[in-house]
Structure 1
């Protein structure tokens, strides 16, 4: 609701009864400030604003729709709680909410040619348009690929007075080192997903430091909002996140799989959008990402979705895992710095194959390890073939082979009897 020229507020309405002259005094009560009193209130239904545009094949890669560039049909376009699909010529129209976002669900086999969203103004003119650019990605696999997740980085711009707090948060330099580690992963994952609490608080200086480092990612990057993205003052606590980073709920596809990213709390807009997104993508295997799943009813809702495989979350700075109606639930320790928990900083490597997940925890600050465990040092072995066993770990790679040299001879590999474990 907008009062005069002021911002939009979420307010409750209290009717105090009719006065002698027939007017109805109304008190609008807001948890963020003093009550506002308005007399002689009249209410009218206002239609949803509409945004139109085109999803197109960006042949020259400039991010703009140029003459001769065809539309891409059947692409999901979202407007807060509403969902539409692009037509045969790539055009779409969708109902939206002012000061929120219109955003596209990246389809399988395409990569983004620009941002997948645009934040909307408070007053949306009737001719407002937003186009979305896509570039074909013929190398995107349908199945058997990996992605990375991390959470609770708590980026904080250092100041002299909060040196103690910095021990439990991440500096901009730490974030750069963390991104370099993710970029070094081999084989190269399809994407990396930040599952929230990316900054310590949703203030402009922290978001600015975060956004300035996002281009360092060499892997497609998807951020999910966390509760620490709230700003500490103001009535719209997540406004800074939407201004600096992007939409609160969204989805995208890689191969056969549908990825759904949700805000941490429950709102009617979130519920309506989720129901529509699930209906449009009911036949795809699904993975959910939400920083803080505060409601068991939401987990139940996720788990009952057709082909729901897993939900990934953060918030607790610790490792938790269980099954809910055959769906895997994973909560992870914090990235880079553990934030006071006894678990080291880490991220997750997730492999998807035939609707199954292989999830491994990758330790930050512990780059690699190789130890021969059999035979023991100094022991005597018999003549003939001997199996060597080694413990092997590399944060930036999935190790499937080990080579060794015995007494300066030819390299012996896993295929010749050495077991990599």
Structure 2
């Protein structure tokens, strides 16, 4: 069955069911003004979604989907095409239909009433070649509470990324630390990097005064559009998920049914040979109904996922112990975070807190190189050379009588269960294999003790340590 017949059948179903239908065109925006002008043709076979159903445009670029009065429509960016970006390099690939707007009672402003549905909702695309191999930047938890901390991000992280050869960036949630009025300043910061920037919603990015989950993303929608969506870049298919469920009192990790329906319908149109990358805030193993998501992706050969939230860095291999039924374990990355230990710790020579993470690794970000179905993550510590990849904790001297009680620890920031770590004492000595351990990083423990001892109160602002997933001794 060709796409035109399929679309016609879908429209027929809409009419028969009495559902309200929205329609529009995905078009080649030749003059790049974001509007469809005479002579700008529609583009066939492009995915469009209403957050549940996914359809493909017909031969003229036309799509049609049902809607209610709380619908975000979005185009699924295909390979070798780009969507427009706004003045802050935020991709403009969506249309929000919310005639009554968000609740005016919210502390942080949401959406203004959008009015009646337009006669045609048109999405602009422009051709742009995308190679099989490319880089993307991933930020975990920038999480500023104040404009001063927004400036920390500018000088600690963003300044060194200006002029990057990465094709786009992603913030994996906790863009803010509850103060949603800082979104514009943060967005202006990120725009300096000069590449399209996608955003995932985190538990500190929501409207806490919303009585339910449905209204908790009002301010996020205002600035960033849909809280879940997908797009292609090169040979890779990326899916942004919202795994923060708000009850009106607290949050938990979960995926609502509409979102799971979208993922199912989206993946039905994605070839099996593509790498699928899931991007979320709360780590996948902390998502209550993750088994439903596992069932949607585990038969595919090429999948990975990445999150933030914890303020430490780790590589997890999800297998049958967690209910995964795929042939190979699923690689989940808990990404290094920009804010480290929530912008805490003594300030350095440029008045920025060292913000060492609770696992002993420095604050920073990751750069992932995608090559077909493969991916390689490079850990980048803030304002450090790319070669800075480990810290070594060793005693100043060893008493021969107690030498077995003194241990050398190596924190390999991007290490995993697959890493092999060896050491030697002197160039001519034999290499000694070290044993992987999961325990508190002794350097971070000493750092907290030292900062507490040197403070007037005898206390430190640094959070207690968390067992490191990348420590050897």
TM over 0.5, yes or no?
Answer: yes
Structure 1 gaps, min length 5: 1-45, 159-169, 377-421
The answer to whether structure 1 residue 195 and structure 2 residue 195 are counterparts is: no
The counterpart of 2:241, out of the listed 249, 259, 262, is 262
1:336: Cα distance to partner?
4.0
The counterpart of 2:337, out of the listed 334, 337, 341, is 334
After superposition, the Cα gap between the structure-2 partners of 1:52 and 1:232, relative to the gap in structure 1 and judged at 3 Å, is: same
Task: Answer whether contact 2:160 2:383 (CA < 8 A) is retained.
Answer: no
The answer to whether structure 1 residue 287 and structure 2 residue 290 are counterparts is: no
The counterpart of 2:120, out of the listed 117, 123, 129, is 129
Higher strand share: 1
1:347: Cα distance to partner?
0.8
1:104: Cα distance to partner?
0.9
Matched with 1:147 is 136
The answer to whether structure 1 residue 54 and structure 2 residue 44 are counterparts is: no
1:302: Cα distance to partner?
5.4
Worse-superposed segment, 340-349 or 328-337: 340-349
Q: What CA distance in whole angstroms lies between the structure 1 residues aligned with 2:240 and 2:187?
A: 19
Residues 116-154 of structure 1: per-residue CA shift (max 9 Å, x gap):
01221236746543211111113xx34122211111111
The answer to whether structure 1 residue 225 and structure 2 residue 201 are counterparts is: yes
Matched with 2:149 is 171
Structure 2 gaps, min length 5: 1-16, 86-91, 101-114, 244-253, 319-327, 343-357, 389-424, 429-473
The counterpart of 2:263, out of the listed 264, 274, 279, is 274
After superposition, the Cα gap between the structure-2 partners of 1:112 and 1:200, relative to the gap in structure 1 and judged at 3 Å, is: same
Matched with 1:357 is 375
The answer to whether structure 1 residue 306 and structure 2 residue 300 are counterparts is: yes
Matched with 1:387 is none
Q: Helix, strand or coil for the counterpart of 1:230?
A: coil
After superposition, the Cα gap between the structure-2 partners of 1:213 and 1:369, relative to the gap in structure 1 and judged at 3 Å, is: closer
Task: Answer whether contact 2:260 2:293 (CA < 8 A) is retained.
Answer: no
1:100: Cα distance to partner?
3.5
Q: Helix, strand or coil for the counterpart of 2:154?
A: helix
Between the two proteins, the alignment pairs up a number of residues equal to 316
1:197: Cα distance to partner?
0.8
The answer to whether structure 1 residue 252 and structure 2 residue 231 are counterparts is: yes
After superposition, the Cα gap between the structure-2 partners of 1:354 and 1:133, relative to the gap in structure 1 and judged at 3 Å, is: closer
Q: Helix, strand or coil for the counterpart of 2:121?
A: coil
The answer to whether structure 1 residue 366 and structure 2 residue 368 are counterparts is: no
Higher helix share: 2
With structure 1 as the length reference, what TM-score do the two structures score? 0.68
Worse-superposed segment, 283-292 or 92-101: 92-101
1:257: Cα distance to partner?
1.0
After superposition, the Cα gap between the structure-2 partners of 1:247 and 1:62, relative to the gap in structure 1 and judged at 3 Å, is: same
After superposition, the Cα gap between the structure-2 partners of 1:86 and 1:177, relative to the gap in structure 1 and judged at 3 Å, is: farther
The counterpart of 2:72, out of the listed 101, 109, 112, is 101
Q: Helix, strand or coil for the counterpart of 1:280?
A: coil
After superposition, the Cα gap between the structure-2 partners of 1:156 and 1:295, relative to the gap in structure 1 and judged at 3 Å, is: same
